[in-house]
């Protein structure tokens, strides 16, 4: 790589195109991985694995937000603080 250019890119437009294609390919791999399942399981086992990934596993494993339990605990603490603040 020279400077900020992707390998093989000679112009800024070529660099932008190569970079966007790399990002698009990585995004497609991530989204495709969400629907991948264990090939050794039966059809219903694989379907259940994918279903569980988008129901109860998602909030527990999400890196963008804390788990449901942590959010619930924090909201209860905040509400208790508001009540005690207003009641004196």
Q: Distance between CA 4 and CA 42 in Å, rounded?
A: 47
Sequential pLDDT tens for the chain (88 residues):
445 666 766 777 777 778 788 888 888 888 888 888 899 999 999 999 989 888 877 766 655 555 556 666 667 667 777 776 666 5
Q: Is 10 left (phi over 0), alpha (psi -120 to 50) or beta?
A: alpha
* 43 close to 50: Cβ distance less than 8 angstroms: no
Please report the sign of the dihedral spanned by the C-alpha atoms of residue 28, residue 29, residue 30, residue 32.
Answer: positive
pTM of the model: 0.49
**By three-state DSSP, how is residue 84 classified?**
helix
């Amino acid at each position: 790589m020279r400077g900020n250019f992707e390998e093989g890119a000679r112009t800024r437009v070529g660099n932008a195109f190569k970079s966007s294609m790399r990002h698009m390919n990585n995004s497609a791999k991530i989204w495709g991985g969400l629907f991948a399942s264990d090939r050794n399981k039966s059809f219903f086992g694989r379907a259940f694995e994918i279903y569980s990934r988008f129901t109860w596993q998602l909030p527990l494993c999400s890196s963008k937000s804390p788990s449901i339990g942590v959010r619930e605990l924090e909201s209860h603490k905040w509400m208790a603080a508001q009540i005690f603040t207003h009641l004196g």
